[in-house]
Amino acid sequence: MISNTILWAAVILFTVAVVLVGLIAMRKTRNTMDDYVLGGRVLGPVAGFFTVTATLFSAFSYFGITGWFYSDGVGAWHQVSGTVILGFFIYFAGTRIWALGRYYRFINVTDYIGDRYGSPATGGLAGLVMIAALVPYIGAQFRGAGITLTEMSGGSVPFWIGAVFLAAVVVAYVMAGGFRSVVWTDVIQGVVMYVVLIAGAFIIVRAVSGDASTLMTQVQEQDPALLSNPGPNGLFAFPYILSIVLIFSMADFVIPQLHQRWLAARSAMSLKKIAISLAVGTMVVYTCNFFIAMAGRVHLPNLENPETVYPALIAEFLPPVLLILAVIGILAATASTANSTILTIGSMVANDYWRPIQRRRGKMQETNLTTVTRVLLPFIVVASLVIAIWGPPQIVGLIVDITWPAALMVFPAVMGGLYWRRATAAGAASSMIVGILTLLLLTALPIPLAGWAPGIPAVIVAIVTFVAVSLLTRPAPAATVERHFAPFDSIRVVRPRRQTGSTA
Amino acid sequence: MARRILVAVIAAVLLFLHAMPWIPGQHEPILFGALPITIALWAVWTLAVMATLWWIAYIYDPYAPIVRELDDNTDEDGVAHFNTSQPGETP
């Protein structure tokens, strides 16, 4: 528990800072979807690195991952491997998406799917899957804010007040400044996160054990299984780790709030730098989380809820200035993930569902779309708050079980669209429907999967369905397909030229 | 074809190493007394794979020609215009 003075100082500082950023961003934002939703497509490598990490690292990273290390040991680090594979997806498939976005002005992944398959309905279906997956995820962020304020105030601030407070602040600055306010707050949050986690890990380990070596000895004496896989509860066996690595890397690539960052990159060079730096940044975060969690095992060995280990430790050991920064960091982490996701869902609903209706009525104007996106934001936030307050209790469970596996079912449609000319709208739509149904079935029924997460068999079924239905249905018109493949024909031209050069 | 098979094998090995950096259930040494070997190996694989990606993206860079073409066809407003003489292009 921390003093009310420090807590409120942090809350007020955080609110003033983000609202100020929102207002400045509002003055620079033009009333077009390209500008409001993608910041005019000028995202550089440094801002890109921070906004991608801030969008990835949320309440989940502070509470969920530290709690996971605390209860299941060293294996939680495997999620870094997911960002390693994601780096390859960003460079190879992301550069294609980025280039196509430049040519055809796509603003999100569902926009791309609708255009690639010549079927707005297929894009709309992908949108529905994503919205169903992401609303609980935003709820998890608001819950993170609620837990923080409750834990740090020693219970004097009710959980729901923290959740509603963060929701109100986020919706205010996203409505004002759109993508720019999201990215600028992400940069601030990212810097604060790295400073607080690194300094926090050093201070907490030093205070609890003196040094890392003593800490490891103490952990080994308490429960050596914490320092090896599959961990004390047997969770991190080979099939489970491989499942999570594959699910997170593939889903991260197509999940719309991250996908918008690939589209918003200023250049292919920016994208490359993001692809390479992401895993290194993740590695630093997870290593700090590991040491903090192990210090928690030594100092607070019997916590009922492992997700409270991080706030409990920083409240006890961090000096006041760093503590204020830490509280701001946690609030900003939850906000920075929620803000991107809310903006993305708002833009998807406006672009994929509202725009076709208005176009049919002949009333379509670009400025209307940004207004509709803004108006939708509070509704998305209210839906997420309902889940935050009345949803299931574990943040990690919520995200691992719902958000990423559901987003993963869109992966075959995106990759097939990028690399396979024969892919059809029927194949893409059926793969999403069959994949989701399989996922729900495998999650709900007690079917033994030999340690594999349900998302893996479900995505295999989705891929098989995608290929089979695509081959059985009529190919898309050549013009629609070539629109997406012709820009990359020059890749094939380069190879023979290089071979000729080497033999000459 | 041989190069593709080699790449696939290396990718599979690295993926395997990521999923199983140390034999499960076996005693794991603590490197320098401070870092479990699992995390140390994970860090090594991560840096190795990122170095490979760096080589692909900066030295090999199969996308260089399309990025050049795109830059050449981008107007002052940042809008890229695809060469309409390409087969299959739609307005």
- What distance in Å separates residue A410's CA from the closest CA in chain B? 22
**pLDDT tens digits, A450-492:** 889 899 999 999 999 999 999 999 988 998 898 899 888 766 5
pLDDT, mean of residues A73-90: 89
Judged against a pLDDT cut of 70, whether residue A498 lies above it is answered with no
SS3 A36: helix
**8 Å CB contact of A77 and B19:** no
Task: Give me the interface pTM, i.e. the ipTM.
Answer: 0.83
**8 Å CB contact of A212 and B63:** no
Contact criterion met (CB below 8 Å) for A76 and A290: yes
Pure H helices in A349-488: 355-361, 366-390, 395-398, 404-408, 411-419, 425-444, 455-472, 478-485
The H or E element containing residue B30 is strand B30-31
Contact criterion met (CB below 8 Å) for A244 and A79: yes
- What distance in Å separates residue A59's CA from the closest CA in chain B? 23
Hey, what amino acid is at A411? F
DSSP at B74:
B
Which residues lie below 8 Å from residue B48, measured CB to CB, with a gap of 6+?
A: B14
Question: Above pLDDT 90, what percent of chain A?
Answer: 46
Judged against a pLDDT cut of 80, whether residue A418 lies above it is answered with yes
- The residue among A190, A396, A183, A214 whose CA lies nearest residue A284 is A190
**8 Å CB contact of B18 and A245:** yes
- β-strands B30-31, B35-36: how paired? antiparallel
Residue to mutate among A32, A228, A494, with most B CBs inside 10 A, is A228
- The beta-carbon neighbor of B22 closest among A42, A229, A290 is A229
Q: Return mean pLDDT, chain A.
A: 87
Instruction: Tell me the residues of chain A between 256 and 295 that have a Cβ less than 8 Å away from chain B.
Output: 267-268, 272, 275-276, 279-280, 283, 287, 290
Q: Is B58 an interface residue toward A (CB < 8 Å)?
A: yes
Q: Can you give the pLDDT at residue A88?
A: 93
A398 confidence band (pLDDT: 50, 70, 90): low
The H or E element containing residue B36 is strand B35-36
Q: What is the largest CA-CA distance in chain A?
A: 78
User: Of A60-64, A160-164, B65-69, which range is least confident?
Assistant: A60-64
Q: Hey, what are A296's tokens?
A: 């928690």
- Tokens 């690292």 belong to residue: A57
How buried is A33 (Cβ within 10 angstroms: 0-12 exposed, 13-18 middle, 19+ buried)? buried
Phi-psi region of A228 (alpha: psi -120 to 50; beta: other; left: phi over 0): beta
User: Of A225-229, A261-265, A421-425, B70-74, which range is least confident?
Assistant: B70-74
pLDDT, mean of residues B32-53: 88
Residues in chain A within 8 Å Cβ distance of B65: 490-491, 493-494
**8 Å CB contact of B30 and A216:** yes
User: Of A167-176, A226-235, B5-14, which range is least confident?
Assistant: B5-14
- The beta-carbon neighbor of B28 closest among A105, A228, A267 is A228
Residues in chain B within 8 Å Cβ distance of A487: 66, 69-70, 82, 86
Cα–Cα dist B27/B20, whole Å: 14
Q: Can you give the pLDDT at residue A343?
A: 93
Judged against a pLDDT cut of 90, whether residue B6 lies above it is answered with no
**8 Å CB contact of A486 and B82:** yes
Contact criterion met (CB below 8 Å) for A378 and A149: no
Q: Can you give the pLDDT at residue A198?
A: 92
Q: Is B81 an interface residue toward A (CB < 8 Å)?
A: yes
Q: Hey, what are A180's tokens?
A: 């720019």
Q: Is B91 an interface residue toward A (CB < 8 Å)?
A: no
Residues in chain B within 8 Å Cβ distance of A102: 70, 74, 78-80
Interchain CB contacts (distance < 8 Å): A and B:
159
Residue to mutate among B10, B41, B42, with most A CBs inside 10 A, is B42
Cα–Cα dist A124/A111, whole Å: 8
| Phi–psi pair at A265, nearest 5 degrees | -60, 140
Q: Return mean pLDDT, chain B.
A: 79
pLDDT, mean of residues A263-287: 93
The H or E element containing residue A243 is helix A238-254
Residues in chain A within 8 Å Cβ distance of B70: 99, 102-103, 487
